[in-house]
């Protein structure tokens, strides 16, 4: 087997190529004029890539009346472009686009549940990275998929392997649901906070996941003991410094750098700079930070002293009637609204000028403290659940390595 040396496989069972035990169907985009944004009896869901899936199942955004390649219920769906290697169980009939392949088990020597577990191991082993190609987007070819070496133990052993991992998978799935419920609770709290607010009404997604279009900018309809303040008049907005990239490192050498990815919490590991940092660009715990490109996010900083990089800003109240923590929480949905309302560019960009025009509602300080406490507790619960899930995912990774080494 040509590709068998690209993945570690036990030597106590049969090894075959995936194409010997499965039919593999590569996705293809249907005609553009057949696309629809609603479901009907005449069209089917279109799965093109990661954005058409939730954490555990397909969730197509678009539909087509002229499906070119069909995945059937029971197939295994495999991402083959960009985020390659992710797999999902196909729970219905779908049209698959160029970013997805459908794998249909045709052999009585291998169980579908075991095949899904094994394909997870294939991704974890780094197989796809070793065979993928592409510049802007990594991709795997039909040949690469067909030649995946598959370890086929006895049906009894397959059942034992699936059983061993099922409890871990169930815990991970339940934890994902818990995280989503907590996030939904947080969205619900914001909806209550802005329930009578005309300016920011419709910032949030409804129960079906659809985003409600924001209403026109107008004055808040707020309780009598609340008021409005303008960020430009009540806060100092400091833009980050353009530090020299040739002094960046990942070796914990120098001061940690707060980049856009740091605020968005998408940075795989911290970046540091050995450049001298002016005191005004040194952030401390409790500072309210906003990322200003791409996905706009607000983060209340909690990782100690760090240097504020360009395309991130700090917003600090200069009045005694606005709590810093309250500001951090109340800004989150408003900044998201700025992202959603920015159109016409490939990458959204948020300016200090636009930030200064934002009005925020504020209650008495006692109420600000109570509101901040509620959001802080929800965020703490989300972080704890995410840490639990990370531990279980590491456990699953270890189990897969032990099973298939």
Query: What does the pLDDT average to over 282-297?
Result: 94
Query: What does the pLDDT average to over 224-234?
Result: 87
Most confident of 39-48, 188-197, 318-327: 318-327
Predicted local confidence at residue 197, as pLDDT: 47
Average pLDDT, the chain: 86
Q: At residue 320, does pLDDT exceed 90?
A: yes
Residue 28 pLDDT class (50, 70, 90 cuts):
very high
73-129 pLDDT per residue, tens: 999 999 998 788 999 999 999 999 999 999 999 999 999 999 999 999 999 888 888
177-200 pLDDT per residue, tens: 999 999 988 888 877 666 554 444
Fold for 4-153, please state it: Adenine-n6-DNA-methyltransferase TaqI; Chain A, domain 2 (3.90.220)
Predicted local confidence at residue 403, as pLDDT: 87
Q: What percent of the chain has pLDDT over 70?
A: 85
Options 1.10.287.1120, 3.40.50.300, 3.30.300.20, 3.30.365.10; CATH for 155-213+364-405 is 1.10.287.1120
343-378 pLDDT per residue, tens: 544 557 889 999 999 988 888 999 999 999 999 999
Most confident of 71-75, 208-212, 331-335: 71-75
Domains 4-153 and 155-213+364-405 share a fold: no
Q: At residue 206, does pLDDT exceed 60?
A: no
Q: At residue 267, does pLDDT exceed 80?
A: yes
Query: CATH code for 227-362?
Result: 3.90.220.20
pTM for this entry: 0.72
CB 341 within 8 A of CB 216: no
Predicted local confidence at residue 234, as pLDDT: 96
Domain boundaries, the chain: 4-153, 155-213+364-405, 227-362
Predicted local confidence at residue 373, as pLDDT: 93
Query: What does the pLDDT average to over 284-306?
Result: 94
Predicted local confidence at residue 17, as pLDDT: 94
Q: Which is more confidently placed, 313 or 203?
A: 313
Query: What does the pLDDT average to over 39-65?
Result: 88
Q: At residue 233, does pLDDT exceed 90?
A: yes
């Amino acid at each position: 087997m040509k590709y068998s040396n690209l993945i570690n496989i036990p030597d106590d069972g049969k090894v075959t190529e995936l194409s010997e035990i499965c039919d593999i169907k590569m996705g293809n985009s249907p005609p553009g004029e057949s696309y629809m944004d609603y479901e009907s009896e005449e069209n089917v869901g279109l799965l093109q890539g990661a954005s058409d899936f939730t954490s555990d199942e397909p969730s197509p955004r678009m539909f087509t009346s002229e499906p070119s390649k069909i995945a059937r219920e029971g197939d295994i769906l495999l991402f083959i472009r960009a985020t390659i290697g992710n797999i999902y169980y196909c729970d219905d009939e779908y049209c698959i686009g160029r970013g997805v392949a459908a794998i249909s088990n045709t052999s009585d020597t291998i169980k579908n549940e075991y095949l899904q577990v094994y394909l997870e191991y294939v991704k974890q082993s780094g197989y796809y990275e070793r065979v993928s190609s592409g510049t802007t987007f990594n991709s795997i070819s039909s040949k690469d998929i067909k030649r995946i070496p598959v370890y086929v133990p006895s049906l009894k052993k397959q059942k034992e392997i699936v059983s061993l991992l099922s409890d871990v998978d169930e815990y991970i799935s339940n934890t994902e649901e818990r995280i989503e419920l907590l996030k939904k609770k947080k969205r619900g709290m914001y909806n209550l906070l802005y329930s009578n607010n005309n300016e920011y009404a419709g910032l949030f997604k409804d129960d079906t996941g659809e985003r409600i279009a924001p209403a026109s900018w107008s004055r808040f309809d707020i309780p009598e003991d609340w008021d409005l303040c303008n960020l430009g008049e009540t806060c100092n907005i400091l833009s980050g410094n353009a530090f020299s990239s040739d002094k960046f490192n990942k070796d914990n050498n120098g001061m940690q750098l707060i980049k856009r990815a740091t605020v968005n919490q998408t940075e795989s590991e911290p970046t540091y700079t050995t450049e001298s940092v002016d005191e005004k660009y040194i952030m401390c715990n409790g500072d309210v930070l906003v990322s200003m490109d791409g996905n706009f996010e607000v983060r209340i900083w909690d990782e100690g002293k760090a240097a504020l990089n360009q395309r991130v800003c700090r917003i600090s109240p200069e009045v005694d009637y606005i709590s810093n923590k309250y500001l951090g929480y109340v800004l989150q949905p408003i900044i998201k609204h700025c992202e959603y309302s920015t159109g016409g560019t490939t990458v959204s960009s948020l300016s200090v000028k636009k930030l200064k025009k934002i009005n925020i509602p504020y209650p008495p300080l006692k109420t600000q403290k109570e509101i901040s406490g509620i959001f802080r507790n929800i965020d703490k619960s989300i972080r704890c659940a995410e840490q639990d899930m990370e531990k279980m995912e590491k456990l699953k990774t270890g189990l897969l390595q032990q099973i298939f080494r």
